[in-house]
Structure 1
Amino acid sequence: MTLQPTSHPGFSTTSSYGDQNSTNITNCPDTDAWEWFYTSQPVYIMVITVLGIVFNVFVLMVFILHKKACTVAEIYLSNLAGADLVLLSCLPFWAVNISNGFNWPFGQFLCKVVNLGIKMNSYCSIYFLVLVSIDRFVALVHTMSYGRMRRPKYAKLGCLLVWGFGLLMGVPTLIFRKVQHFPEYGVHACFLDYPSRTLELVCNGMLIILSFIIPISIISFCTVKIIQALKVQSIEKSNAEKTEHKATNLVLAVLLAFLICWVPFHLITILDVLLMAEVLGGCHLENALDICNQIFTYLAFFNSVLNPILYVIVGKNFRKKVREVFHNWSYKKTASSDSTRSNLSTLKTSV
């Protein structure tokens, strides 16, 4: 990502995902589109932050408060909600940063930690979907062969490994993120300062391969096999099969939403890497990629708000859990109220 002129300093939030080095100064002329982005981005970020935190906390509370233990798929989806919360808790810092003219006011520690949280989400969210895709694949295609592997303890271990992998892939962010003063732009910017262009290209290549090409290939394979399995199965299904199909419909909806929100971002990142490697070039392409990076980054952020909505709209089992949680909560509240009235009545009688 290139650094825009003084009126539009391009310390873009996209660099927190794609690790674009913001210190490269462009010779391309500025465009009027940046003014609109810099005024609208903070508002958009705060809106999706508030909505996303409320929705994802609601999802986690339903899974936690429900009397039955979470299924394997629900363990993965609850961890996905946790990854979304990590991202959403970091976004307000970038909203302040943008509204402040990309002058980072929070110090170097938060510069590293906030971007580490965003980086972890880019890896963890996709691999939680990989795990849930594999779970649906095993449940519908290889039920007899590998069904015993679908146990909550293995699911929790898988989630722990994903969180560890996300943290490991965020190490370059911890090492190379720093706050530096740019007198020509009048800001103290939080940016990625790679020691060499080669290392920058390697890190961006790893992002594309490990957080896009490999997981999307696995998800695509599992999804095709899942759809084929759903088509060939008979109309008469047992109750267990119906439950599996309900869970599968929700997973497919979540996967589709993820692809719609994230594929454009990764495609633009690939073009950005090609531009950085000087395979592609030109001011028009550079300006177009800068603007598209902004648009598609915030489309990707919106996925964190969309997932809980899909749980309610598509997830019949989730809606059932919500009703049961509210029913139990209402019952306990009524029982507590009746107990209080009974105690007051006993006190009055004894007096």
Structure 2
Amino acid sequence: MNEMQKPVIGFTCGDLNGIGLELILKTLGDHRLLEICTPVVFASNKSINFYRKSLPDINFNYASGKDFSRLNPKQVNIYPCWEEEVAITPGQLNETGGKYALISLKEAAQALKAGHIHGLVTAPIHKKNIQSADFNYSGHTPYLKDLFGVNDVVMFMVAENMRIGLVTEHVTVADVSKHITKESIISKLKIMHSSLQKDFGIDKPKIAVLGLNPHAGDEGLIGSEEENIIKPAIKEAKHNMLVFGPYSADAFFARGQYERFDAVLAMYHDQGLIPFKSLAIGEGVNFTAGLNAVRTSPDHGTAFDIAGKGKADHSSFMAATFECIEIIRLRFGYAEMRQNPLRKMSARILANAVDEKIEETE
């Protein structure tokens, strides 16, 4: 992609019986998006038309075809992943919804890997009905990790006022501590640090690490993970980045300490996502950090209860689309800067001039 080219953004349909296609229609129905990207929806013409009937106020025109070299930059493009008639039953959890969600995801992910599209926005799937011999994963994040053949990725929740990464994602609470290791924490910190630099334009990011146990273990009185695993991981990571902690999760968010950092590493899903969804300003976006491609998604699920009723709020999906485009542009600029020593030096001088030191407390 050159500096003047609009990025090509792919969109998966998600569960056919969920709100995915409605979100796509509402988001891409705003034709101003065509000024900043070329959209490609991985679905079928018939599925698009099914949901278009329930949204008569949305002016949604599209071109259809499988040739990436002939995409129409002035229209939404549909990449037809299947041609057969499919019984769409909004609001129902069934095998059909999962089957075609996976077909859409596989086609789109392969296009992303091959470089036919520059970024991917994924609509919500249901983790139960998408399971099959081809998809034995707890969600999009581990699937994309394996497809791209990378050692590790981070589920990175981003909003206007906070960014939260997770050490463990969709793991049962009973098993969380088994996955908290020094190596996993350091791996996540490295990915977050690199992502904050190249994907968010922060030259010297500051990262906070939460403890696992109440009160961050109280110096070993409540669990041993902080003393034996988390603190040694932070100590080692400090050689290469600005990282602080471990912090007691409840006080950290209640006192607004997250505002002093560029990102926070939480130990498990709810520890990070409950404060994120409670305190985030603007719409939250799920970003997969660590891939050599850009994938984002809204921070909500399939919403079967309102599917097919035209009631879905597409704000988070729109935010995921904008975030995808912005990260692509920042990555391009970062790559350009890395190739130009003068730009790189200027960026460092500027960053050092405005850098604020954080004293490690608690």
TM above 0.5, one fold? no
TM-score (norm 2): 0.29
**Radius of gyration: which is bigger?**
1
TM-score (norm 1): 0.30
Structure with greater strand share of residues = 2
Structure with greater helix share of residues = 1
